[in-house]
Structure 1
């Protein structure tokens, strides 16, 4: 079995279409289709089922997938060893993260990692959803809940905290908030309820606040609403130092703790390069959360 054919198979499995695989491989869809046809003929098995949703793995394709991924990991490890990259961080790496982490933590953490490792390129993909590492949407992903299924390795990155907050201009022109009951007279800012992609983001049950008057699926948009003096929201403590004038509200009564988890594909355990990046990322995120939360407590 040819490794190049397996590479094409993985691209179709992850992209779920010939055109998406072609873009990833930098070739046309017709070539991808011919290569898959040749591989299926060589193996004597149908690897994909075509549907209106695209190319889905057949039973035989599902059995081939872990072997193809293992071969990919082995090829990547061999390339690292032969190029001398195993002892340093080089090349391109993509990190998927929820937008709060991606906006307020990763820029400075990843900049420091790149400064220490010339030749390293980091791409940050900020999306309000769970990343699919099996489809290689990213090399590693940060999540707010620990996954319970899939061929993944998971490590704790950092604990972080959230509080109610509002801009000082809003607090100056509205009734005072001295207890949870006072929140009923204020506009609340939060997530769009049916677009909460992880149960750990459903904060409002813990606040005793009423319904959300202004909502977004983006943490960053919610923070900008708070910064604009539009109401009271639940915000990450590590974001407060980036928003002058935003103050914590009822910090002694409403305090929420959550955890960031770093998730990698199980086959990547063999990659010293990715393991070293994970270690550097963990150290950087923990230090930056601690630094920014200390500043927020002084506001």
Structure 2
């Protein structure tokens, strides 16, 4: 049987996601259709590629062997198109960005909207997840991270620093005495991350302040910001989020001032891809400018 690239592309998604549903979401294909395609591929190759169970699709030895060959083909396809010039100077196709939800909610929409206006045939997808993205599994074309990974065949570029401070809604401060020191926080309801769901040590803000109990906790920055905005308590907020949250102001600025950084992370195989490199350049420049603009308004 002749195995074409489309067969391999679908196989790669199922192998990496280890499920039809996960691969279907990535490919925008119905899982049942994807299952039929995999069955047809197995039939054509006269090999069982997956051990199927309620837990998902696990590769067999034959599947692992095909995965190695398929990844070689994937790299060859990327290399074949990497050096093609961008028609009319405009970007086309699809780009998927993985990002922590703070950046995904308060920065990327406006930055990517500007890029999209200049490139009307470009499709941009933002995957907002509170975890580290696996670019080796091609979960995204590139990712924004809050720390620089040291493992894997990745290219890492520091994009910009950003600031964070303790913040509270004026409605909360109207009902409770404003803290004058870190010690006073013990008398307040705090908002922060669920401790055992912090996916990067750079996000463990409250423990740096010696705070253990977090009465209002979420793995989502957006939920935390909304809790603060609704007067639920005091929490750490990105300065760039504050212009979007009227009624919230920074407190204890002379005692707590945090600085973190965003990194743009790409797969090493994509370095020569002119389209993705051009997009990465526009994205990094837009993020730097937007963080500076919003922090000046905070």
TM-score normalised by structure 1 residue count: 0.86
Alignment of 1:251-262 (within 5 A): 251-262=253-264
Shift of the 84–78 alpha-carbon distance from structure 1 to 2, 3 Å rule, reads farther
Cα distance between partner residues in 2 of 1:127 and 1:72: 25
Post-superposition Cα deviations, 1:25-47, rounded to whole Å, max 9, x if no partner, equal 84441231221343465xxxx65
> What is the CA distance between 1:20 and its match in structure 2?
5.1
Shift of the 149–50 alpha-carbon distance from structure 1 to 2, 3 Å rule, reads farther
Select which of 232, 243, 250 maps to 1:241.
Answer: 243
Cα distance between partner residues in 1 of 2:109 and 2:122: 14
2:269 aligns to what? 267
Shift of the 18–186 alpha-carbon distance from structure 1 to 2, 3 Å rule, reads closer
1:14 aligns to what? 16
Post-superposition Cα deviations, 1:81-135, rounded to whole Å, max 9, x if no partner, equal 6785495311121111111111100011001111122211211111222223233
Cα distance between partner residues in 2 of 1:283 and 1:167: 32
Q: Is the 8 A contact 1:19 1:29 kept in 2?
A: no
Cα distance between partner residues in 2 of 1:110 and 1:275: 15
Select which of 14, 20, 44 maps to 1:38.
Answer: 44
RMSD: 2.6
1:29 aligns to what? 35
> What is the CA distance between 1:61 and its match in structure 2?
4.6
Cα distance between partner residues in 1 of 2:97 and 2:110: 14
> Gaps (5+ residues) in structure 1?
none
Deviates more, 1:148-157 or 1:182-191: 148-157
Query: Does the residue aligned with 1:30 lie in a helix, a strand or coil?
Result: helix
> What is the CA distance between 1:203 and its match in structure 2?
1.0
Cα distance between partner residues in 1 of 2:24 and 2:117: 34
> What is the CA distance between 1:193 and its match in structure 2?
1.5
1:222 aligns to what? 224
TM-score normalised by structure 2 residue count: 0.86
Cα distance between partner residues in 2 of 1:20 and 1:172: 47
Aligned residues: 292
Cα distance between partner residues in 2 of 1:58 and 1:49: 6
